[in-house]
A = this chain, B = another copy of it.
Amino acid sequence: MPDGPGRPADGPRRRGRPRTEERAGDTRERLIAVARRRFAADGFDRATLRGIAAEAGVDAGLIRHYFGDKTGLLVASMQLPVDPVEILRSVIAAGPDGLGQRLVAAFLTAWDPHREVIAGLVRTTFGNTSALPPALQVVRGVVVVSLREVLSGKDAGLRAQLIAGQLLGLAMLRYVRPLEPLASASRTRVIEWYAPAVQRLVTPGQEVL
């Protein structure tokens, strides 16, 4: 029997497609919907994968299968235009040398095209006093954790947070409350000046260029 007019051949309602495959996408979406609700109601720390899985009517192992861990589920539930986990993974993969340069470049490349999105996230996160909003959890659980992995020497945790602070400060004056010339400066110029200041926290004892 032919598909109806205007219905894509691979559309979800195609006759004869196995119902189990249709359910996979549905399950993922349902998990994200439940996670958004639970993270908002309970906060990231108190929400449990077991509770979210139960409410979605699936096994908790499926969350690990789709999202890796709770932070992965959180990032997915935020529906960001860029994937901070993926970006940071590739930024830190090459090690500490030149990390400042790669980090600032990746940050600008990710957010320059989505200024409104990050501005909204920062406003929501720093404009109220509610417990641990999602974006701050990503700063803490993704950005700081990833950076810390690649830092060696004293006070690695503190330095990772100071680097995260540098990126936040950049976001505030370039995106959230844009000041000129910073808001319109080319990426190249911002990287030229800011990357060495970030690198100073990555490899404190070394030459910074």
- A residues lining the B interface (CB < 8 Å): 122-123, 125-129, 136, 139-140, 144, 155, 157-159, 161-162, 164-170, 172-174, 176-177, 179, 181-182, 185, 189-190, 193-194, 196-198, 200-201, 204, 208
Contacts and interface: CB of A to CB of B under 8 A. Distances in A.
Contact of A167 (B169, B190, B193): B169
Contacts of A165: 166, 169-170, 172-174, 182
A189 to B, nearest CB: 7
A165 B125 CA distance: 17
A155 B45 CA distance: 43
A94 B191 CA distance: 28
A161 B179 contact: yes
A9 to B, nearest CB: 45
A60 to B, nearest CB: 28
Interface-centre pick from A169, A170, A179 (highest chain B CB count, 10 A): A169
B204 A193 contact: yes
Nearest to A202: B197
A162 B168 contact: no
B123 A158 contact: no
Nearest to A173: B165
14 contacts: A126-B177, A139-B179, A144-B179, A158-B181, A158-B189, A161-B182, A162-B193, A164-B169, A164-B173, A165-B170, A169-B170, A169-B172, A172-B172, A193-B201
Contacts of A208: 200, 208
